[in-house]
Amino acid sequence: MKAMTPEQAWKEIGERYAVPGRAAELLLQQNERGVDVVLELFCECAQARGFRLDARGRQEADDCVRDWRAQVVQPLRQVRRALKPMMERVSDAAQLRAQIQASELQAERVQVGMLCEWLDKYLARSAAASTAGCKI
């Protein structure tokens, strides 16, 4: 049984992001400290479901998505941001920016799927480790 499906996790992440003031807070952390908003919210969702993620677990989760974030999500975000000031000067920039924003969101959804797969493996390893010393 899966700890969380990607669809459940994406929905819960969206709900947490929509809490008044939360998006601004997270985006500030993203811009100032490089916080991965998707990872942060995913870990919150896991914790809320009773899946304890210690510092090592959070680091493993980050390791799992680091390349995807650096090579896919962040470049899409950079292009989207670069297009924003051009929207007044370039007639098709707004449409292109919207398409890139949709691609960025899709890339984040893929990241959530990666994290869900990672969580299942992490929990299985944790369960195996906790029962390994148990003799009946």
Query: What is the average per-residue pLDDT within 94-122?
Result: 98
Q: Is residue 133 part of a domain?
A: no
Residue with the bigger pLDDT between 134 and 39: it is: 39
Residues 61-90 have pLDDT tens digits of 999 999 999 999 999 999 999 999 999 999
Q: Is residue 132 part of a domain?
A: no
- What is the predicted pLDDT for the residue at 52? 86
Res 13 pLDDT > 90: yes
Q: Is residue 131 part of a domain?
A: no
Res 132 pLDDT > 60: no
Q: Is residue 77 part of a domain?
A: yes
- What is the predicted pLDDT for the residue at 127? 78
Q: How many domains does the chain have?
A: 1
Band of the pLDDT at 130, cuts 50, 70, 90? Answer: low
Whether pTM > 0.85 for this model: the answer is yes
Per-residue CA distances from 18 to 8, 24, 101 (Å) = 15, 10, 17
- What is the predicted pLDDT for the residue at 1? 63
Report the distance separating Cα 34 and Cα 21, nearest Å. Answer: 19
Res 31 pLDDT > 80: yes
Q: Is residue 136 part of a domain?
A: no
Which has the closest alpha carbon to 78: 25, 31, 26?
31
Residue partners of 86: CB distance under 8 A and separation at least 6: 93
Using the Cα atoms of residue 37, residue 40, residue 43 and residue 48 in order, give the sign of their dihedral. negative
Q: Is residue 134 part of a domain?
A: no
Q: Is residue 10 part of a domain?
A: yes
Which has the closest alpha carbon to 109: 5, 10, 3?
10
Which has the closest alpha carbon to 120: 54, 57, 29?
57
Q: Is residue 56 part of a domain?
A: yes
Task: Domain of residue 11: give its range.
Answer: 6-125
- What is the predicted pLDDT for the residue at 136? 45
Query: What is the average per-residue pLDDT within 106-132?
Result: 90
- What is the predicted pLDDT for the residue at 102? 98
Res 23 pLDDT > 90: yes
